[in-house]
């Protein structure tokens, strides 16, 4: 019984010592941590040094630009005069005593002068005169000469054909032209009819003159009366 009590006492003492050691260890570690936080850690500029190496400078030599000089051609050599003695005789002789005899020339006739060109005066054609031309016999005289084309009659073609022509000093019609037609043979029939009539000539200052004249010719079919 005594031995068991002793062993229990020894174990309890060892446990107490172990706990005391652990507590001292924690206290010591805390002291070390506190001292580390309180100490200011300063880095000196001398500890870090940046070393720089100087870059090598390459010097470029300037190259002179050479210009090609064009030299002028050498001057021509001067002509050396040849000495001629005054006693030299010129073999070629010039006969200055020759005369021109006009009596020996054959008689010739001058060409005739060209005949003067007589410019023909263009006859003036009037558009408006003091007294305009008038159709002799009126429109009935013109209608007698109008032949209605069969093609236009069958096609029922009607309308006005506008003619333009020149009336001379005697009242005759020249150069009739269709200004606006209707076709179907009516244009040709109108020209044929106007060439068969005459006009009283136009007067300008009491004299008959040529006048450009325009005239419409009506083509109209007669409608049959229904019974």
The two structure tokens encoding residue 193: 């009819």
What is the mean predicted confidence (pLDDT) over 187-193? 94
Is residue 173 exposed (0-12), middle (13-18) or buried (19+ Cβ within 10 Å)? Answer: buried
pLDDT score, position 212: 95
- CA 81 from centroid of its chain's CA atoms: 67
Mean per-residue pLDDT of the chain: 76
In the predicted structure, residue 82 carries a pLDDT above the cut 70: no
Nearest residue to 175 via CA among 167, 183, 186, 184: 167
pLDDT score, position 204: 93
Rounded Cα distance, 161 and 186, in Å: 7
List of domains in the chain: 125-219 (3.30.2420.10)
State residue 217 phi and psi, 5-degree precision: -120, 125
What is the mean predicted confidence (pLDDT) over 109-123? 62
pLDDT score, position 171: 93
Rounded Cα distance, 15 and 7, in Å: 12
Report yes or no: 216 and 203 within 8 Å, Cβ to Cβ: no
The two structure tokens encoding residue 169: 């000093």
In the predicted structure, residue 131 carries a pLDDT above the cut 90: yes
pLDDT score, position 197: 94
Categorize the per-residue pLDDT at 144 as very low, low, confident or very high, splitting at 50, 70 and 90: very high
What are the residues whose beta carbons fall under 8 Å from the beta carbon of 142, sequence distance 6 or more?
A: 135, 193, 194, 197, 217
- CA 60 from centroid of its chain's CA atoms: 55
- Specify the range with the lowest mean pLDDT, choosing from 116-120, 143-147, 167-171, 209-213: 116-120
In the predicted structure, residue 91 carries a pLDDT above the cut 80: no
What is the mean predicted confidence (pLDDT) over 151-169? 93
Categorize the per-residue pLDDT at 99 as very low, low, confident or very high, splitting at 50, 70 and 90: low
C-alpha distances in Å from residue 167, one per residue of 90, 108, 138, 180, 192: 90, 56, 16, 19, 15
Phi-psi region of 15 (alpha: psi -120 to 50; beta: other; left: phi over 0): alpha
Nearest residue to 178 via CA among 167, 189, 164: 164
Of all residues in the chain, what percent carry a pLDDT higher than 70?
63
Q: What's the farthest any 2 CA atoms get from each other in the chain?
A: 203
In the predicted structure, residue 78 carries a pLDDT above the cut 90: no
Rounded Cα distance, 197 and 134, in Å: 11
Categorize the per-residue pLDDT at 33 as very low, low, confident or very high, splitting at 50, 70 and 90: confident
What are the residues whose beta carbons fall under 8 Å from the beta carbon of 127, sequence distance 6 or more?
A: 211, 212
- Specify the range with the lowest mean pLDDT, choosing from 99-103, 116-120, 149-153, 189-193: 99-103
| pLDDT top residue among 149 and 48 | 149
- Specify the range with the lowest mean pLDDT, choosing from 21-30, 32-41, 44-53, 116-125: 44-53
Categorize the per-residue pLDDT at 135 as very low, low, confident or very high, splitting at 50, 70 and 90: very high
What is the mean predicted confidence (pLDDT) over 131-159? 91
Give the three-state DSSP class for 173: strand
Output DSSP code: residue 224.
P
């Amino acid at each position: 019984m005594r031995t068991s009590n002793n062993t229990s006492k020894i174990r309890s003492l060892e446990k107490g010592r172990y706990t005391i050691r652990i507590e001292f260890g924690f206290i010591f570690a805390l002291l070390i941590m506190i001292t580390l936080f309180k100490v200011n850690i300063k880095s000196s500029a001398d500890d870090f040094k940046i070393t720089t190496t100087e870059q090598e400078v390459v010097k470029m030599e300037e190259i002179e630009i050479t210009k090609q000089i064009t030299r002028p051609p050498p001057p021509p050599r001067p002509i050396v005069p040849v000495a001629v003695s005054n006693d030299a005789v010129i073999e070629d002789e010039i006969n200055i005593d020759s005369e021109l005899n006009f009596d020996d020339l054959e008689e010739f006739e001058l060409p005739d002068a060209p005949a003067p060109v007589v410019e023909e005066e263009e006859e003036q054609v009037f558009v408006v005169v003091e007294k305009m031309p008038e159709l002799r016999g009126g429109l009935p005289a013109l209608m007698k000469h109008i032949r209605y084309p069969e093609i236009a009659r069958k096609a029922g073609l009607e309308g006005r054909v506008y003619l333009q022509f020149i009336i001379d000093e005697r009242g005759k019609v020249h150069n009739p032209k269709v200004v606006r037609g209707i076709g179907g043979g009516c244009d040709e029939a109108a020209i044929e009819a106007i060439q068969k009539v005459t006009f009283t000539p136009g007067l300008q200052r009491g004299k008959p003159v040529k006048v450009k004249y325009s005239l419409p010719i009506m083509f109209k079919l007669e409608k049959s009366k229904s019974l």
